[in-house]
Amino acid sequence: MPNPQSGTILGAYRVEGTIGSGSMGEVFRGIDTGLNRRVAIKLLSEKHRDSPELRQRFVREGRAVAAISHPNVVQVFATGSFDDRPYIAMELLDGADLGSIVERSGRLDSLAAAHAVLDAAQGLAAAARAGLIHRDVKPSNLVRLSDGRVKVTDFGLAKPVDPGSEPALTAMGVVVGTPDYIAPEQARGEAIDERVDIYALGGTLYFLLAGMPPFRTGKPAEDKYLKVVARHLRNPPPDAMTVNPACDPELAELARTMMAKKPAERPSYDELIAQLTRIVSRLDPAAVPMLVASRDRSRPIVLPAADRRSDEIGADVGVGDAAEPPLEMPRAGLPGWLVALTFVCIALFVAGLVVYLRRGDADSGSGDMVLVRKRDGTPWFYVEPRPVSAVEFRRMFADHSQPAGADGAVVMVSYNDARAYANTHGYRLLTSEQWDSAVSTPGVELSGELYEWVESTDDKTRLVRRKDRSVPRPDQAQPDVTFRMAKLPP
């Protein structure tokens, strides 16, 4: 039987047209004939009719999303069957997916990107609480509505954290996850949890800020499936500031942290939502988001004592309490604990201000690192006063060898190895602009005649710096190139 045409009745829904199609099935526009609301109807493709595994996965998507009640997750209304093929009726979203928005209008500004990812994180956190891993988080599966909210869609690859008797879909040869946003452990076929979604959301954040997926080069020959996956496995997370220096540094660094190679180094949903909320509040104090507070909605409403009937009060106290004076109503004004807390905060602020004013110009508020300031005097980043030494590098790579003395700066390290070393330690390489500012800051030492790796965007030719010199070099070990590490202020 062909796909339903306009006017076809599917349970409580009447088909009104076609929206599109994908690898799993077709999506139709419909209307709920009883409630008179618009819906999207997703129907399993005819070619998958005889596949019990895909049929089960399709039904599982409907059940998975139906189990989640959250404003940042697409809502499922019902499931049914047409022509012995399952369908899902869900809300019809009035908006566009983030991938299409960036493709049409270019990368988002930092505030819009932070808002979008915050919404998505809250929706995915709700899915995780329901025991579900999305496994295919990407810009095209995040829809921004006309009111600005973002909803997570397409749970077709969703997997229970405890699958029980569910079939192992990866054993069928089905590609699980999109290569541009696939977590390393997911690409290796290892056991996964909700942190693969955090990795993919970090890649999505990079895409929103940079305008391109994190491990793409823009060259078709270099962006084939296996090459992209290999970069997810080996290359350190890219920095969106390298492509878009105007983006918010903390937001760019958060994307890199979310894409940490080790799942344990990625933030939890609670940590992620808290940090994104702080970033949004800082970028636009007037747009502080209100987090979904289901606990508040479930709290009982308590009436003040003055509103209760006298007979209720009498039932609460014993006969021996009759001679006690009546309770006084709370006085108007701020509660005492809030006043005390205010004074404590003021005291801490004054103490911090005194410490700040007493610091030297070359203060190192992060261990032995030197603080580099912008021209207006505001903190910019911390930098190591000297390049990484060979001794330090061998603590991580014991087999490293180089012609220089053991106590000298490390050389014979490729650009990618330098970035990987810095990233593993929670740091990063300097940009070329940052390097210029760093070497002119008191307390920062130059590395003699050696060059230093700095952040570069070209995958084949990287950039090295020396005083007043900038030279392209291939991404391989160099006998006259070292590197130093930096990080943003907390």
Q: Which two tokens stand for residue 104?
A: 């049409």
Q: Helix 269-283 and helix 249-258: axis angle, to 10°?
A: 170
Greatest pairwise CA separation for the chain in angstroms: 93
Instruction: Tell me whether residue 460 is exposed, middle or buried, using C-beta atoms within 10 angstroms of its C-beta: 0 to 12, 13 to 18, 19 or more.
Output: exposed
CB 159 within 8 A of CB 174: no
How far, in Å, CA of 75 to CA of 66, rounded?
7
Q: How far is CA 79 from CA 4, 41, 136, 340, 459, in A?
A: 16, 9, 22, 56, 47
Task: Tell how far CA 118 is from the center of its chain.
Answer: 8
Measured between alpha carbons, how far is residue 360 from residues 324, 366, 371, 438 in Å? Answer: 63, 14, 10, 16
For residue 221, the Cα-to-chain-centroid distance in whole angstroms is: 29
The count of other CB atoms within 10 Å of the CB of residue 68 is: 23
DSSP label at 476?
A: S
Point out the catalytic residue in the list 136, 180, 417, 475.
136
> 368 an active-site residue?
no
Residues whose CB falls within 8 Å of the CB of residue 137, separated by 6 or more in sequence, listed in order: 120, 124, 152, 181, 197, 200, 201, 204
Please list the residues that pair with 189 across neighbouring strands. Answer: none
Burial per residue of 341-361, b for 16 or more beta-carbon CB atoms within 10 angstroms, e otherwise: eeeeeeeeeeeeeeeeeeeee
Strands 76-82 and 95-97: unpaired
* CA-CA-CA-CA torsion sign (476, 477, 480, 486): positive
Catalytic residues: 136
